[in-house]
């Protein structure tokens, strides 16, 4: 199990009563062993239930509405953090793929960047073959349902931005020590949301399965990916180290060409639970 730090929880406690999770209170998790002797990324279990996706058209961007209810009929597992360079490089070396550039920011526990949508899908296919379980990218609805952690507020901790909980807005003061970076930082250095996910508001944006639509019109309550839109662009979710505070809400979304490899986009993986 990867060691995770808790630098943001003390700040969150001042406003919400958050306390550092213990083994007893931590969300359930699993980690598959792979055939090559290594381990897959650590996963947290997201429970079945009802949630929301999106915001109103008057939100920070016009493609976030309309907000709608979604229903997760089954639990699923999703990586606690974004896939790291350590995780991805193991796959790339095993499959003789070119290692993505780290822009000089380091590898190891840094989130992998400069990977295309196809690269991310290939990694999930490799995890499936190596583990014997079905791995894939999450749909947009699955990503946002997990990122909200059972909440329906603007951020998973409430309606108001709190500096340092899961993001450092460098335009305002109060970032925790060592988090005011002008590049992504090691995964898991802020607080986890109630479902145990880290970095949904920070580090890098993340690929999902969905073809892009310019709104949520017609989305319905299904958690399945929307594959009837503009498949020349795939939906990317989540805040980055570059974003100011309004642009790190879980409803934030963008359409990006799937062949793009950029320093602001990585991904996390979903593992289906039979």
Residue 3 lies in a domain: no
Residue 23 lies in a domain: no
Residue 183 lies in a domain: yes
Query: Quick check: 97 and 91 in contact, CB under 8 A?
Result: yes
How many C-alpha atoms does 173 have within 13 Å on its Cβ side?
0
Residue 151 lies in a domain: yes
State the pLDDT at residue 121.
Answer: 98
- Give me the domain span that covers residue 135: 9-16+31-272
pLDDT in tens, 119-175: 999 999 999 999 999 999 999 999 999 999 999 999 999 999 999 999 999 999 999
The domain total for the chain is: 1
Residue 225 lies in a domain: yes
Sign of CA dihedral 152, 158, 162, 164: negative
Residue 12 has pLDDT above 60, yes or no: no
State the pLDDT at residue 6.
Answer: 32
Residue 21 lies in a domain: no
Residue 250 lies in a domain: yes
Residue 58 has pLDDT above 70, yes or no: no
For residue 14, the SS3 value is helix
CATH number of the domain bearing residue 71: 3.90.1580.10
pLDDT in tens, 72-125: 999 999 999 999 999 999 999 999 999 999 999 999 999 999 999 999 999 999
- Alpha-carbon gap, residue 143 to 53, rounded angstroms: 9
Residue 38 lies in a domain: yes
């Amino acid at each position: 199990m990867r060691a995770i730090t808790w630098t943001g929880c003390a700040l969150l406690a001042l406003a919400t009563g958050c306390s550092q999770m213990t083994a007893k209170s931590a969300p359930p998790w699993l980690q598959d062993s792979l055939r090559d002797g290594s381990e897959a990324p650590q996963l947290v279990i997201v429970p079945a239930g009802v949630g929301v996706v999106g915001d109103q058209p008057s939100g920070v961007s016009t493609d976030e509405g309309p907000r709608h209810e979604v229903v997760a009929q089954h639990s699923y597992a999703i990586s606690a953090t974004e896939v790291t360079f350590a995780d991805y490089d193991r796959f790339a070396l095993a499959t003789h793929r070119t290692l993505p550039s780290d822009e000089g920011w380091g590898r190891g526990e840094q989130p992998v960047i400069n990977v295309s949508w196809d690269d991310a899908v290939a990694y999930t296919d490799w995890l499936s073959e190596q583990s014997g379980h079905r791995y894939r990218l999450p749909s947009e609805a699955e990503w946002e349902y997990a990122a909200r952690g059972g909440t329906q507020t603007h951020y998973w901790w409430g309606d108001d931005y709190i500096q340092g909980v899961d993001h450092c807005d460098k335009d305002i003061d109060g970032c925790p020590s060592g988090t005011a970076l002008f590049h992504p930082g090691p995964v898991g250095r802020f607080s986890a949301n109630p479902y145990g996910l880290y970095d949904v508001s920070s580090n890098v944006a993340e690929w999902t399965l969905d073809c892009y639509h310019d709104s949520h019109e017609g989305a319905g309550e299904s958690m399945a990916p929307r594959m009837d839109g503009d498949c020349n662009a795939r939906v990317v979710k989540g805040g980055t180290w570059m974003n100011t505070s309004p642009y790190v809400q879980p409803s934030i979304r963008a359409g990006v060409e799937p062949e793009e490899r950029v320093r602001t986009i990585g991904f996390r993986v979903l593992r289906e639970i039979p």
